[in-house]
Amino acid sequence: MAKILVTDGMDKGAVEELKNKGFEVTEKFFEPEELGENLKSFDAVVVRSKTKVREPIIDKALEGGKLKLIIRGGVGVDNIDVQYAKSKGITVRNTPNASSASVAELAIGHMFAVSRFIHTANITMRDEKWEKKKYKGVEIAGKTLGLIGFGRIAKETAKKAEALGMKVLYNNRSGKVEGFDKYEYCTLEDILKKSDYVSLHIPFVKEKGAIIGEKELEIMKDGAFLINCARGGVVDEKALLDALNSGKLAGAAIDVFEKEPTENMELVRHPKVSVTPHIGASTVEAQKRIGTEIVSIITEFFK
């Protein structure tokens, strides 16, 4: 039966199900310089965001003549050289449906945090500081949320934001989406100009670089908030820091970074920033759904 390597962890129930189906499953993380060599003896590898599967790793793995399938447990596949893998006959799959609700909830949670100083007060209170007068926040009800990208996660975010009384605008690279007329389709520039909160829901494309940089931040409303629970690199972190320091933005919420683990402590420690360590899909429910999807993909592929 096929041998499966799980490098970044997976729901235990899903691992057991694979084993019960006869698959040989190894759960172990390998550093990049070791991964390719070890992949020589596996038919499939399951990764999350920590493991990067780049061209040299793929080439080394193929020396074993076994690797046929790479699965990303999550949505984005920018940590895998997808086209190169496909050109070598390796199938690349992800689990786009499983974590949508969890990431959307985190985006909304971050919006509350930066709007009501939850991120800051949670720290200062522990330092025995009662700074009530400092924390005059804003309500999100009645505000405008602009979504850049309108895939599964953005749609979930829109639904939750609407329920909270927000007006929702969206931009999508393929144009207006049928069946969502209750939300207003806008150009990227109009999203930036009109939104009190801008939330990113797009992949990182190395060739395009940051989608939100100095120019885009300048277009945004004075006192707006930027939310990024999508991918690191889609926001220029230096430009974001400048916008926060100048007062152009009232705050930002960040779950993903240009480099992970991030070394940008100036951004992490900024009083206007709510931060989390790439935990969008880190819920019990999402991990169970991801595990279920992975089992289905592997079972179907090797049947």
Are 108 and 164 spatial neighbours (Cβ–Cβ below 8 Å)? yes
Active-site annotation holder among 17, 278, 289, 293: 278
Q: What's phi and psi for 24, nearest 5 deg?
A: -95, 115
75 token code pair: 């949505």
Sheet-wide strand order for 249-254: 184-185, 167-171, 144-148, 197-200, 224-228, 249-254, 273-275
- CA-only gyration radius of the chain, Å: 21
Are 161 and 167 spatial neighbours (Cβ–Cβ below 8 Å)? no
Q: Does residue 260 carry a catalytic annotation?
A: yes
Residue 40 burial (10 A CB sphere; 0-12, 13-18, 19+): middle
Residues whose CB falls within 8 Å of the CB of residue 143, separated by 6 or more in sequence, listed in order: 166, 167, 196, 197
Cα end-to-end distance, the chain, whole Å: 10
H helix intervals, 180-230: 188-194, 214-219
Sequence letter at residue 56: P
Active-site annotation holder among 231, 258, 270, 289: 231
Parallel/antiparallel/unpaired status of strands 167-171 and 224-228: unpaired
242 token code pair: 């400048």
Q: Does residue 110 carry a catalytic annotation?
A: no
Active-site annotation holder among 189, 260, 263, 285: 260
Sequence letter at residue 70: I
Are 45 and 66 spatial neighbours (Cβ–Cβ below 8 Å)? no
Where in the sequence numbering do the catalytic residues fall?
Answer: 231, 260, 278
